[in-house]
Structure 1
Amino acid sequence: MLFILADRNKPRDADMIDRLVSAKISDAAADPALHDLVRRHMKNFPKTFQLTTLASVNGYPHYRQSDNFTATVGRHTVDSRWVVPYNAYLLRQYDAHINVEICASVKSIKYLFKYVYKGHDRANVELRQSARGEYDEISMFLDARYVSLSEAIWRLLEFRLHGQSHTIIRLPIHLPNFQSVFFIEGREQEAL
């Protein structure tokens, strides 16, 4: 999901960002349900500890990650460096991995759309000779077509795949005594 906020609602400072997004393990004593959700769903590669949230003008903020709490995942103990940024309300609502980021630049949005629509990174290809030498374009299309998850959902919900705001038609210019004259070769006098 991408939420585009009005200018007056955009999080510009560290306090507002911290109210919307968290990248730390919550206190198990204060909120055991949230602690368990973060432990189960919000793990990724480690980042460096960050004492305060730093807002960024040209990209993603650097979220505050305190080293106060840890969680045990399997045989490993992880701290807040391993936590993916999340929103506590959305994490509780969906009970799933839900990465939440504050996008502060056009580059972030460009990356988001490139990532969502990148498609599959592999293809299985089989070359075979037709027995009768026929070229069956329909079968070749169906056998080689790959529809990614995002494209499948988009098509199932019958959303437009691309948009066009205006149809552009080139119109001839009509100036006095400059009209276009069409004629058949050899019959020029009749056209005049």
Structure 2
Amino acid sequence: MKAKDRADIIARIFEMKVKDFIHYLKNEKPFGQVVAELYTIEFQKRGLPHCHTLLWVSPPYKIHTPEHLDQFISAEILDPVVDPQLYKIVTELMMHGPCGLAKMKAPCMFVGAHINVEYCGWSMMIKYLFKYISKGADRIRAKITKSLDARFICPHEAAWRIFNFHIHHRNPAVQVLSVHLENMQTITFKDKQPLQDVVDDPMIKKTTLTQWLKNNQIDDSGHHLTYLDYLSKYKWIARGKDWCRRKSKKTPPIGRLIYIHPTCGELFYLRMLLSHQVGCQTFNDIKTVGDVIFPTYRVACEQLGLLGDDKEWTYAFDDASSWETAEELRSLFAHMLIFCDVADPLALWTKQWRRMSDDIVQRAAADSHVVNLHVNEVDLQQYVVYELEILLNSNNSYSSLCDYGLPMPPPHLLAELKNKLLMEERNYDRVSMSQKKEVMVSALNSKQHIIYETIMKASLKNHQLLMFVYGHGGTGKTFL
């Protein structure tokens, strides 16, 4: 009998290794003080488990310079003369050579486990990382007599789930905080439950928001805290639906306001205020600024300087871009144009269009069947504009980008995308080539420069020109 025949033992041992690994990261601190961690367990095609882990470190340990990064991660081939031992390790074991049972002493192995380390230095990558580790198991679609959407569970995953080991783990926890207008909270009840009992039940109406307001009425020690920050000093008791003073020294949960679409009007502005107002005891207090109770949450936002210059739409887009895909962001932008009063659509487009372009290169490569396609910035903008125009045209309003003062996509764009020959010819980086041209032109001698200027003038004016450049070998004909 071999180890692969005992899925239960493999699951138990791997679960112990994961716990030991997390303990090592938090206590030995190889990357610094860990303030949060998250991991997901996945099972490879042959069934063996592996772990995707995300770590957050405290500000003093964040990486800010390349030299600091090199202390943890190195992706270079070292000088064989200066450091022959590391050169041998990198070239023999990390290019990427055998590891695991074949070479347990490989540098990518930690206590018998294979380790890959990556550093995330860009906030937009967080969205990709979360989606990657939370994508779930691979699935297959089969059509026999009817379509089946199914997945295969290997013995190791079955054992893991039977033992009730964590598939997902995160620390600290995330507490979802409800957002609703006064007396507009969501109520859930059973089908056969009498409606009068539902109306008379005081517990069913309690939410984290209503109890935050009530707790501020009887406990003034949290008046300096916003709704989001309340979790740092208070704990939400789900069973009793109430807040109580936090006694534990453990890391408190992270508060997260539920997402509200900007087209929801007052509810959207209420959510904005809950991130700024402190010590509120009633819903009127939330829309009070400087002892003045304003009639709407939007007006209160204006008085706090949260609106104007499309700040609310910028805030909504920035908030959504942390987790939504590029396709979803384009849909959000289209909804803003149609249903929201965007004062300057062009300014909002100029600021946000890059976030809507993350998937454009892959889609263009798939349409044109060109591998490793490079799309220049101008073309990238046109592709995003094209996708937005489709969204606007498919909406019931039948609107168009030109209605909002935004650039229209060129009519020939779709044909160009499907023209493989054209896309291959345009598959170069215009910015880098323009910079290279400036350097090369500055290196021309006087006679070469005369020829260059003559050709360029004829080309720009669309004039015919026949020239013959003659010179001995090594005089710079090829360079020109």
Greater relative contact order (CA < 8 Å, ≥ 6 in sequence): 1
* TM-score normalised by structure 1 residue count: 0.40
User: Of Structure 1 and Structure 2, which has the larger fraction of its residues in helix?
Assistant: 2
User: Of Structure 1 and Structure 2, which has the larger fraction of its residues in strand?
Assistant: 2
